[in-house]
Chain A
Amino acid sequence: MREVAVIGVGVTKVAEHWEKSLRDLFVEASLKAVEDAGISLRDLDAVYVANMSSGYLQGQEHLGSLMSTWLGVPGIAACKVEAACASGGVAFHQGFLAVASGLYDYVLVGGVEKMSDAITPDVLSALIMADDQEYVASTGATFVGLNALVYRAYMEKYGVKQEDIALLAVHDHAYAVNNPYAQFRNEITLEQVLSSPLVADPIHLLESSPTGDGAAAVILAPLEKVKGCNDVVIKVAASRVAVDHLSLNEREDITTMTATVRAAKEAYKMAKIDAKDVDVVEMHDAFTALGIINLEDLGFAEKGKGALMVKEGEIEKGGKTPTNLFGGLKARGHPVGATGLYQIVEIVWQLRGQAGKSQVEGAEIGLAQNIGGVGSTVSVNILRRVR
């Protein structure tokens, strides 16, 4: 396998982009990434498009050909990669494999989702397509509702209070203030979170990631091809994906996401590091309790102690494990198929020293965890600054 570098990144703001289409957003982020990489569009060998719901929300599939056409690069290899909300992280994994294999040199991996085209019941229908349509969606369960089952079970099993778990939403908003690409750049208080309406008990509106539109893209290339330049060089130290039984009823314990545990373990081994070596983290906190569980399953806290990390400041910029310093899914936003790539871009900014007020000084190793379904698919990608 060849070593792989991330040589360019680009994002759009996460927002309700009424004036922009699915393809507009994808092209905007892609052009930024290509320019950032200092290559030409015609250098690209392949394009991977991460997206979850274009078939349902836009009536549009075949995104590989569509987006390549709109990028003006016909003739290259291209396809859509779908793994529910983990589409971005899984597409990155595919792009990594493509370059590592030696088959392609310059690969664009871009994620895009456009949710504001649809009304709420249709967005909820699209999201629950991440789970079993025959036997779970037919109960009327929503995706928030499935996470709510996990939330309640977690509080019961570990005796953790909701006010401690909900602090994660406050954290996310505090950091989104400094992120010009975030959907919500306003601070919120714990009282506001806990008094916001219930969406699916016990999950409050302000504990839940919003719906929005956005696109994020990265350019991958063989590490050997970027050795000549003087800029910071970032390589993919590890890229792993793991799946769990699709639905919660198939699992022994719903308070641990075993796909996260497995993908993280394999990624640490591949990167030849331990969890404690990670300098900065972007993890998939689609709901506050899921974020707390992630901190534990990624190996940063013991089971039942994730919320304590948040409370004691360990995930702050100056803490032991700085996490979600661009607002996380709650405040940066969660345009589902693009989220995994927003995380990768944010890690790249950190490792390049381009993170502005959220910069973790001297960050060398960054981890991005992206989840599809209720822990059903998890990608863990680790980036490392090598120069």
Chain B
Amino acid sequence: MGVPSVPRVWRELKYKYRLIGSKCLKCGTVVYPPRMVCPKCGNNHMIEEKLPETGRVLSYTVIRYAPRGFERQVPYVVALIELDNGTKLISQLTDVKPEDVKCGMRVEAVFRKLREQGPSGIIEYGIKFRPLSATA
């Protein structure tokens, strides 16, 4: 995690809370996290793009030994997710038992606590994903 830092969290709030990535004005590629240069065509005219909040699980794992700051959450699921527009990201899955997760499972974004920056640091929030059927 590096040293505890408020500005580091603050400047990413918009992208992490609202799932905003970048769209290339030349080739149309949409990527997350946001950036200034298109990884596909190298063009540097990128605009912010709100990403879809639903997608599917491409691959997943169950973390049983956690890095510092996540020890109390084990076991938890981390997944590679493809959003409905084709953009991919890595996220924790929530509101689901590890044994119920499947590749291809439909998921939706929810706002959750991510981690604490140590006992006296700030609390980081952001997006996790849960099974789409959980809301039905």
Which residues does A use to contact B, with CB under 8 Å?
A: 120-122, 124-125, 128-129, 132-142, 144-146, 148-150, 152-153, 156, 197-203, 245, 247-250, 254
| Contact indicator B67/A128 (Cβ below 8 Å) | yes
CA distance A142 to B64 in the complex (A): 10
Q: List 18 A-B contacts (CB under 8 A).
A: A124-B66, A125-B67, A125-B69, A133-B2, A134-B8, A134-B33, A135-B89, A136-B90, A138-B16, A139-B90, A140-B66, A140-B69, A141-B78, A144-B65, A145-B78, A148-B61, A153-B59, A200-B65
Given contacts A120-B65, A124-B68, A125-B67, contact A139 B103 (CB under 8 A): no
Q: Which residue on chain B has the smallest CB distance to residue A119?
A: B68
Contact call B78/A139, Cβ cutoff below 8 A = yes
Supposing A133-B1, A152-B60 touch, asked if A139 and B65 sit within 8 A by C-beta, the answer is no
Nearest opposing residue in chain B for A198, CB measure: B64
Known: A121-B68, A149-B80. A140 touches B61 (CB 8 A): no
Measured between C-beta atoms, what is the minimum distance from A147 to chain B in Å?
Answer: 9
Q: Which of B67, B69, B71, B89 has the most CB of A within 10 A?
A: B67
**Choice from B1, B39, B59 contacting A250 with Cβ under 8 Å:** B39
The winner among A138, A200, A202 for most chain B CB atoms within 10 A is A138
Q: Which residues of A contact B65 (CB under 8 A)?
A: 120, 124, 142, 144, 199-200
Q: Which of B76-105 contact A (CB under 8 A)?
A: 76, 78-81, 88-92, 98, 103
Name which of B2, B8, B90, B128 has the most chain A CB atoms within 10 A of its CB: B90
B residues less than 8 Å from A121 (CB atoms): 66-68, 71
Q: A99 CA to B100 CA in the complex, in Å?
A: 56
**B47 on the A face (CB < 8 A):** no
A124 near B80 (CB under 8 angstroms)? Answer: no
The chain B residue with its CB closest to the CB of A149 is B59
Complex-state Cα separation, A150 to B1, whole angstroms: 23
Known contacts A198-B64, A254-B80, A139 near B59 by CB under 8 Å: no
List residues of chain A with CB within 8 A of the CB of B124: 138
- Cβ-neighbour of A141 out of B8, B31, B63, B64 (below 8 A): B63
- B115 on the interface (CB 8 Å rule)? yes
The residue from B1, B16, B59 contacting A125, defined by CB atoms under 8 A apart:
B1
Q: Find chain A residues with CB under 8 A from B39 CB.
A: 245, 250
Given A133-B2, A201-B98, A203-B61, 8 further pairs, Cβ under 8 A = A133-B1, A140-B76, A140-B115, A141-B63, A149-B80, A152-B61, A152-B103, A249-B32
Nearest-CB residue, chain A, relative to B87: A249
**Shortest Cβ distance from B104 into chain A, in angstroms?**
9
CA distance A124 to B65 in the complex (A): 8
B43-76 toward A: CB 8 Å interface, digit per residue (1/0)? 0000000000000001111111111111101001
Encoded as 1 (CB less than 8 Å from any A CB) or 0, chain B from 3 to 40 comes to 00000100010001000000000000001110000010
Q: Which of B16, B70, B71 has the most C-beta atoms of chain A within 10 angstroms of its own C-beta?
A: B70
Q: Which of A129, A200, A254 contacts B61 (CB 8 A)?
A: A200
Q: Is B131 an interface residue (CB 8 A)?
A: no
Task: Please tell me if B114 contacts chain A, counting CB pairs below 8 Å.
Answer: yes
Contact (Cβ within 8 A) A142 B66: yes
Contact at B66–A138, with CB atoms within 8 Å?
Answer: no
A125-B68, A137-B1, A139-B114 given; A156·B63 CB < 8 A = no
Which of chain B's residues have a CB closer than 8 A to the CB of A129? 2
The minimal Cβ–Cβ distance linking B80 to chain A, given in whole angstroms, is 5
Return chain B residues, CB-CB under 8 Å to A137: 1, 67
Asked if B91 and A139 sit within 8 Å, CB to CB, the answer is yes
A287 to chain B, nearest CB (A): 11
In whole Å, how far is A156's beta carbon from the nearest beta carbon of chain B? Answer: 6
Q: Is A248's CB under 8 angstroms from B76's CB?
A: no
Contact: B2 with A135, CB < 8 Å? no
Distance between Cα atoms of A249 and B31 in the complex (Å): 9
A153 → chain B, closest Cβ, in Å? 4
- Which residues of chain B have C-beta atoms less than 8 A from A146's C-beta? 90
CA distance A98 to B60 in the complex (A): 43
Q: Which residue of A lies closest to B82 (CB)?
A: A249
CA distance A124 to B92 in the complex (A): 17
Q: Are B63 and A132 in contact (CB under 8 A)?
A: no
Q: Are B61 and A201 in contact (CB under 8 A)?
A: yes
By a CB distance below 8 angstroms, the chain A residues around B63 are 140-142, 145, 200
CB distance from B5 to the nearest CB of A (A): 11
